[in-house]
Structure 1
């Protein structure tokens, strides 16, 4: 019958070309004389039907890949098989993708409906994962304000996407991290990439370290560069053990931060403090101003001043900053505002005069010296105050003590020896004279004085009635006529009987 693919000569049946069904096969034969027909039956069974397929042709061999589940239709209960390398569940057809070796596999499903068995197949491709690697130049980065971005080194498949958790300032395309804009912490950076078939994610870690904290400050912004200025001490908080630095001109102790103010050059300086907590270092700074001292000078017209009763005040000349205050030790009669010295009101001695002045920022003191010299000492006196101007009068001699070598002067009319002070009385005019003695000890001079009176002689006249008298027994006494000053005493040589009181001669 039609449907059975029967070889008429041999009786062979091409089963797979025949249509399923029950067939009677007739065999007609002859022995040359007679012919006959016999028959038998053959049943062509239809194959059982089944289908298998996976959800996709390609599966990527990721570490977290789910099993590839098969969809099977038709006769169940068959057996799945494939070549080595494919981790295949023979009963369910599921494939453990991540345990399989990359490759293309034919999966066979052999099944039976109780009469016939058959095998169907499908293909599955286990794709190898793309390969990439990422790493930063270091695991730890310090979050400094001038930190460069942390650049990533990427190998293998490029063009992936970088991600991390909030707080990390991450460039999704390049993987670079803006360290200074990131929050301190430990971050896992993921790189997800694909080769067009499969994608994968790898990761690395980066630690953004918080900067150590420190602060520095000086007790003031401005320091005056005085010769006796103390060091400017710094107050440091936070991480200790750092190093201080600044520009040339500031005499700075690198270990302590102290500044030798008097050895520094005037100017404004930024002092840097670089410190580390063992992981990260940072630099903080503060400013200090070394002020130049104001400039002033003082001087008197001379070093030495003599303490005379008529001495003028010693006036000072000030250059530079004015308006300061003058001072010295006790004994110097000093005007604190003007610097003038009342010489005659001061005690003899050597004095340092200080001038303290201020320019509004800094003060300083300059000084000069002044010597108040004691006056030299001398005395003069005559043997008497009054001297009579007689023709035979001796000179009036002077007694002088103390400083010698001075000069004597007086008014006109007194015949005075300028070198010795002796007075020629008889050559002097009558009068009262002040004799001045001016002398010097080499530093100071002085003048002292005494008085001398040159007295005029008293005036009187005497005369007898005649020049000649005869010595008779009855002669009268010779009477004298006296004018002028009376009450004097009359005297003569021996032989003349003279009344000393009246001047009469017997």
Structure 2
């Protein structure tokens, strides 16, 4: 019948070219005389039908890839097979992608309907993953305010995307990290990349370290550069063991932060403290001002002042800052406001006068010396106060004790020896005189005085009634006439019988 591809001569049937069906094949034969026909049956079975396919042609060989599952229609229960390298489940046709070797594979499905079997196939491509690596220059980065961005190095496939947890200031395109803007912590940085067919992710870690904390401050901002100034000591909190530094001119101890104020140059300085906790270092700072001392000078008109009763005050000259206060030890009669010294009210001695002054920021003290000299001592006296101005009077001699070598002076009328102090009484005019003795011990001079009185002589006159008297037995006494000062005593030479009280002569 039509549909069976039968070779009439040989009886061979081209099965695959025949149409499925049941056929009776007739064989007509003859022995030359007679002919006959015999027959048999042949059934051309239709092939069972099945098809297979995967969800895609290409599968990327990721470590976390799911198995590639096959979709099979038609006759089930067949067996799957492929080349070595493809990890294929022969029963289900599923492919373990991550365990397979990259390559292109033909997957065969051999199946049967119980009478006939057949094979169908499909293709699957196991793609190799693209390769990339990322790394930062270090694991740990310190979160400084001036920290540079942490730059990433990418090897292999470029053009991927970077990601991490919140808190890391990460540039998704370049992988650079803004360290100073990130929150301290440990972060895993993911890099997702693709070669156009497959994508993958690699990662690295970065640690943003918190900066160590420290603070420094001095007890004040301003320090005055006095010669006796103590060191300015620092208070440090937080991480210890750092190093202090500043500009030239500040005498700073690098280990302790103490400042030798008196050895520093006046100026404003920023003191830096660099410290570390072993992982990260940082710097903090504070300011200190070394104030220049105000300038003043004081001087008296002389070093030595003699303690005279009529001495004027010693006045001071102030240069520079005025308005300060003067002081000294007990014994010096010193005006604290003006610096004037009441010389005559002071006790003899050598005194240091201090002048303490201020410019409103700093104070200082300057000084000078003043010597209150004791007056030299001398004493003068005559043998008497009164001297009579006789023609034969001796000079009045002076007794002088103490400092010698002085000069004697008095008023006109007293015949006074300036060197010895002796008075020529008879040559002096009658009167009362103050005799001054001016003397010096080489430092101070003084004047003392005494008085002397040059007395005028008393005046009297006597006369007898005659110059000549005769020595008769009945002669009267010679009476005297006396004028002037009465009550004197009369005397004469032996031989004259003279009444000493009345002056009469027997």
Q: TM-score range by the shorter chain?
A: over 0.9
Once the two structures are TM-superposed, the CA of residue 480 in structure 1 deviates from its matched residue by 2.5
Q: Secondary structure at the match of 1:126?
A: strand
Identify which range, 435-444 or 255-264, moves more after superposition: 255-264
Report the alpha carbon displacement of residue 499 of structure 1 after superposing the two structures with TM. Answer: 2.5
For residues 153-174 of structure 1, give each alpha carbon's deviation from its aligned partner in whole angstroms, at most 9, with x where no partner exists. Answer: 1100000000001000000001
SS in 2 for 1:309: coil
Paired residue secondary structure (1:469): coil
Cα shift at 1:468: 3.1
Question: What's the CA shift string for 1:124-164, capped at 9, x where partnerless?
Answer: 00000000000111111111111111111110000000000
Cα distance in 2, alignment partners of residues 22 and 363 from structure 1: 134
Using the TM superposition, name which of 5-14 and 439-448 deviates more: 5-14
> Larger deviation: 19-28 or 258-267?
19-28
Of stretches 92-101 and 352-361 in structure 1, the one that deviates more from structure 2 is 352-361
Q: How many residues align?
A: 506
State which drifts further: 178-187 or 314-323.
314-323
- Secondary structure in 2 aligned to 1:442? coil
Question: Residues of 2 paired with 1:326 and 1:298: CA distance?
Answer: 10
More divergent stretch after superposition (439-448 vs 26-35) = 26-35
Which deviates more from structure 2 when the two are superposed, residues 77-86 or residues 205-214? 205-214
In the TM superposition, residue 472 of structure 1 has moved relative to its aligned partner by 3.8
The normalised TM-score by structure 1 is 0.97
- Report the Cα offset of residue 9 of structure 1: 3.8
Q: Are 1:271 and 2:278 matched, yes or no?
A: no
Deviation (angstroms), 1:280: 1.1
Cα distance per residue 1:194-236 (max 9 Å; x no partner):
0000000111111111111111111111111111111111111
Q: CA deviation at 1:28?
A: 4.4
Distance in structure 1 (CA, Å) of the matches to 2:3 and 2:367: 142
Structure 1 distance, partners of 2:109, 2:460, is 192
Partner Cα distance (1:365, 1:10) in 2 = 146
* CA RMSD, 1 decimal: 1.5
1:437 to partner: Cα distance:
0.4
Instruction: Summarize deviations over 1:292-319 as a string: whole Å, max 9, x none.
Output: 1111111111111111111111111111
Flag structure 1 segments of 5+ consecutive residues without an equivalent.
none
1:30 Cα deviation (Å)? 5.2
Q: Which runs of 5+ in 2 are unaligned?
A: none
SS of 2:446 mapped into structure 1: strand
Q: Secondary structure at the match of 2:305?
A: strand
TM-score (norm 2): 0.97
> Which deviates further from its counterpart, 71-80 or 10-19?
10-19
- Provide, for residues 368-395 of structure 1, a one-character-per-residue CA deviation record: whole Å limited to 9, x for no partner: 1111111100000000000000111000
**Alignment partner, residue 107 of structure 1:** 107
Deviation sequence 1:165-192 (CA, Å, 0-9, x none): 1000000001111111111111111000
In the aligned structure 2, how far is the partner of 1:404 from the partner of 1:83? 146
Of residues 90-99 and 335-344 in structure 1, the stretch that sits farther from structure 2 once superposed is: 335-344
The answer to whether the aligner puts 1:15 opposite 2:15 as a matched pair is yes
C-alpha distance in structure 2 between counterparts of 1:75 and 1:420, whole Å: 168
Cα distance in 2 for residues equivalent to 1:115 and 1:192: 53
State the Cα distance separating 1:27 from its structure 2 match. Answer: 3.9
Matched, 1:38 2:1: no
